[in-house]
Homo-oligomer: A and B are copies of this chain.
Amino acid sequence: MRAAVMYGAGDVRIEDRPDPKIQQPSDAVVRVVLSCVCGSDLWPYKSMPATGTGRPMGHEFLGVVEETGSGVSGIRAGDLVVAPFTYCDNTCDFCRKGLHSSCRHGGRYGLDGVDGGQGEAVRVPHADGTLVKLPVGADSALLPSLLALSDVMGTGHHGAVTARVGNGDRVLVIGDGAVGLCAVIAAKRRGAEQIVLMGRHTARTDLGRAFGATDVVAERGDEGIARVRDLTGGHGVDKVIEAVGARQALDAAFGTVIDGGIISRLGVPQYEEGPVGPSMIMKNITLTGGVSPARAYIEELMPDVLDGAIEPGRVFDQTFTLAQTPDAYQAMTDRRVLKALITL
């Protein structure tokens, strides 16, 4: 099969790889229909040391089940399924608590002999626990939004869940990338009254407004904090969803959140230490969030996609073929593309 493999920073190649085969009774092989490039794929694209062996890329995909192992009972060949961005057994103590990202038998695509999602087919471990059947055909116009359940929409939702966004909340979403925009969808879906989106790419913040952002703040640093305070009558916001990962974004979160408020981080921090001193204690600020247990949220979010209540697939603003995947990486790195959809 053909698949995307990264050999170092700026070096993504489409090459022949062995066709995946069932190795364990709990495996399934999925023929990929749609995949995409994640913001987190850009980190190694910018910094990975050159390697002779390469690493299969991609962790968001939906496709048709081709074959299942003898222990798989929940899905069967021919089913159209979506995969969350980590595989999981859906039965361990962490999965039972809804923390599938910490599954005791889980793992990541592209590692440990498991294929990446940017390729023609993927062997999916723990297929019964991981894959969720989609009640639409492979020609449905909803596929991009259903693909978003594999990562970005579930990640934005995780931010709103862990920030405990509820009716009437004033919410700040920091970052106009695909995750930030999905966090806007999630905050609105949970009843936020005011959603301030901090970002400076007009095309993206316009989509954020379409998703439910009531205000946009282009300023950063102290100016951005002052602007958010102005927009909230001087009070600050009840909840912050931080979808960038920069220290400046964390400082903006602490600078705008009201006493008793919650900051949920979705962006992987580019720092090791943060401002958790006496001020955080005096104000009773909570710092939460993390890697999304995307699998936990698929059943909850899917009905809203199916009935059109949410359209996270709108974050995909350009479509590439698998052969064009290297161009997709570069286009996202150059910020010419928000999120690249890959059709197979």
Binds B, one of A184-192, A195-203, A220-228, A276-284: A276-284
**Which of the four size classes fits the interface of chain A?**
20 to 34
Q: Is the CB of A291 within 8 A of B282?
A: yes
Task: Name the contact of A290 in the complex, choosing from B162, B275, B282, B291 (C-beta under 8 A).
Answer: B282
Q: How far is the CA of A275 from the CA of B277 in the complex (A)?
A: 11
Q: How far is the CA of A242 from the CA of B275 in the complex (A)?
A: 17
Q: Does A204 contact B (CB under 8 A)?
A: no
Task: Name the contact of A287 in the complex, choosing from B271, B283, B287 (C-beta under 8 A).
Answer: B287
Chain B residues, Cβ within 8 Å of A272: 275, 277-278
Closest Cβ of chain B to A268, distance in Å, is: 5
Minimum CB distance partner of A284 in chain B: B290
User: B-facing mask of A257-279, CB < 8 A → 1, else 0?
Assistant: 00110000100110111111110
Q: How far is the CA of A94 from the CA of B293 in the complex (A)?
A: 32
Chain B residues, Cβ within 8 Å of A287: 276, 286-288
Q: Is the CB of A269 within 8 A of B277?
A: yes
Task: Name the contact of A275 in the complex, choosing from B162, B260, B273, B282 (C-beta under 8 A).
Answer: B273
Q: How far is the CA of A132 from the CA of B265 in the complex (A)?
A: 39
Q: Is the CB of A289 within 8 A of B278?
A: no
Chain B residues, Cβ within 8 Å of A283: 102, 290
Q: How far is the CA of A112 from the CA of B268 in the complex (A)?
A: 44
Q: How far is the CA of A280 from the CA of B280 in the complex (A)?
A: 17
Q: Does A97 contact B (CB under 8 A)?
A: yes
Chain B residues, Cβ within 8 Å of A250: 276
Q: Does A285 contact B (CB under 8 A)?
A: yes
Q: Does A101 contact B (CB under 8 A)?
A: yes
Minimum CB distance partner of A97 in chain B: B260
Q: Is the interface of A mostly helix, strand, loop or mixed?
A: mixed
Chain B residues, Cβ within 8 Å of A101: 284
Q: Does A99 contact B (CB under 8 A)?
A: yes
Task: Name the contact of A276 in the complex, choosing from B94, B273, B281 (C-beta under 8 A).
Answer: B273
Minimum CB distance partner of A265 in chain B: B281
Q: Is the CB of A286 within 8 A of B288?
A: yes
Minimum CB distance partner of A292 in chain B: B284
Minimum CB distance partner of A273 in chain B: B273
Chain B residues, Cβ within 8 Å of A277: 269, 271-274
Q: Is the CB of A268 within 8 A of B284?
A: no
Q: Is the CB of A281 within 8 A of B260?
A: no
Q: Which residues of A contact B (CB under 8 A)?
A: 94, 97, 99, 101-102, 162, 250, 259-260, 265, 268-269, 271-278, 280-291, 293
List the 6 closest A-B pairs by CB distance, nearest first.
Answer: A284-B290, A272-B277, A102-B259, A274-B276, A286-B288, A273-B273
List 27 A–B pairs whose Cβ atoms lie within 8 Å, in order of A's numbering: A94-B260, A99-B259, A99-B260, A99-B284, A101-B284, A102-B260, A162-B286, A265-B281, A268-B278, A268-B281, A269-B277, A269-B278, A269-B280, A271-B276, A271-B277, A272-B277, A272-B278, A273-B273, A273-B277, A274-B274, A274-B276, A276-B276, A276-B287, A281-B289, A282-B291, A284-B293, A287-B287
| Known interface pairs A269-B278, A281-B291; 10 further A-B residue pairs with C-beta atoms within 8 A, sorted by A's residue number | A94-B259, A94-B260, A99-B259, A99-B260, A265-B281, A269-B281, A274-B276, A280-B290, A283-B290, A286-B288
